[in-house]
Structure 1
């Protein structure tokens, strides 16, 4: 049980595996007005940057669950680096099957709503761990500009234009699921650049160090095509944000 090796190669230089910068992640933590001792569950926690920095900056405690052995190891090391290993724990496992043994104050899934089969299923999954009156975080793409061609749709990692809503459609969907949107922090094109463009340097350095690796031809093809595809399609069409929700 693990992520494809190509994914961990591509994002091995990232601490945040979504189009948020350090500043946006910190802004989200401040916006939520987190209390010391607040209990957090982060499903698909990646390299643990959210839990680790919020434990340092706000005094939260919690658990992250991720399917990647590589990123889970990074998260544990980051907790030690920031001096919060006594406050956060990271489990290697299937986040789609994880429910907290005790209700938490904040339950999150940032950028991995596939674990619930989409937004509605992920909301229902997180509900199972959230205390009454708690806060839920969902990170999800939306269309900044609706693509008009099949090529543009596929370049944005969608199988259909209906895979993602507009921004107002996403907010409306949360309402239809019975939740108030009480905060949001959105990625912008600069933070998208930091996420995507950083992958290209990581891939290039990996290729230089591993020219004979069996993965090298596929990674070479990605580096050749990804920058043009990104600036032509994804940068213009695809948005991403984290939405804070509370049950009505």
Structure 2
């Protein structure tokens, strides 16, 4: 049970595994006005940057769950580095079925709503761990602009236009799921660049160090085509946001 090795190669230097910068993550933490001692469950937590930095800055506590052994090891090391290992813990496991032992103040899934089969299923999964009056954090992709053709759709990691919603319709979907949107932080094109371009350097350094690896040709092809695909399609048409929700 683990992530494909290509994913951990691609994001080997990343502390945040989505197009949210550390500054934007900090902005959201401040905006939520978290109480010291508040509890957080972060499903598909990656390398645990949200949990560890918010534990440092806001004195919260929490648990992160991720399927990647590489990322969980890095998350534990990051918690030690920031001096918060006594307040946050990390579990290697399948986040798609994980429910907290006791209700939490914040239940999060940031950019991995496939664990619930989509936005609606992820909201229902997070609700199972949420204390009354608590918040859910959902990170989700949306269309910045209407994609003009199927080529654009496929180059934005989708199979059809319906795979993502425009931002107003995504907000309305949260309402239809019985949630109030109480905060949001949106990626911009620069933060998308920081996320995606860092992957290119990670891949190039890995290629230079691993010319005989079985994944070499796959990763070489990705680096050859990836930058142009990003600026032609993804940068223009894909948005991403982190939304704070409360049950109505």
The alignment's TM-score, normalised by the length of structure 2, stands at: 0.99
Deviation at 1:150, TM superposition (A): 1.1
Taking the aligned partners of 1:154 and 1:81, their CA distance within structure 2 comes to 40
Give the equivalent residue in structure 1 for 2:245. Answer: 245
Taking the aligned partners of 1:211 and 1:182, their CA distance within structure 2 comes to 49
Q: Confirm or deny that 1:217 pairs with 2:217.
A: yes
Give runs of ≥4 in structure 1 deviating > 3 Å.
none
Taking the aligned partners of 2:224 and 2:152, their CA distance within structure 1 comes to 18
Taking the aligned partners of 2:150 and 2:10, their CA distance within structure 1 comes to 25
Deviation at 1:49, TM superposition (A): 0.1
Taking the aligned partners of 2:174 and 2:28, their CA distance within structure 1 comes to 18
Deviation at 1:66, TM superposition (A): 0.3
Matched residue of 1:234: which SS?
Answer: helix
Matched residue of 2:165: which SS?
Answer: coil
Q: Confirm or deny that 1:151 pairs with 2:151.
A: yes
Deviation at 1:149, TM superposition (A): 1.3
Deviation at 1:63, TM superposition (A): 0.1
- Structure 1: gaps of 5 or more residues: none
Give the equivalent residue in structure 2 for 1:173. Answer: 173
Q: Confirm or deny that 1:28 pairs with 2:48.
A: no
Taking the aligned partners of 1:41 and 1:115, their CA distance within structure 2 comes to 14
Equivalent residues, number: 248
Give the equivalent residue in structure 2 for 1:62. Answer: 62
Taking the aligned partners of 2:87 and 2:185, their CA distance within structure 1 comes to 25
Taking the aligned partners of 1:132 and 1:159, their CA distance within structure 2 comes to 37
Taking the aligned partners of 2:161 and 2:198, their CA distance within structure 1 comes to 27
Q: Confirm or deny that 1:71 pairs with 2:71.
A: yes
Deviation at 1:151, TM superposition (A): 1.2
Q: Confirm or deny that 1:118 pairs with 2:118.
A: yes
Taking the aligned partners of 1:142 and 1:187, their CA distance within structure 2 comes to 11
The alignment's TM-score, normalised by the length of structure 1, stands at: 0.99
Deviation at 1:164, TM superposition (A): 0.4
Give the equivalent residue in structure 2 for 1:90. Answer: 90
The C-alpha deviation readout for 1:33-66, integer Å capped at 9, x for no partner, is 1111000000000000000000000000000000
Deviation at 1:242, TM superposition (A): 0.4
Deviation at 1:146, TM superposition (A): 1.3
Give the equivalent residue in structure 1 for 2:130. Answer: 130
Deviation at 1:238, TM superposition (A): 0.2
Q: Confirm or deny that 1:7 pairs with 2:7.
A: yes
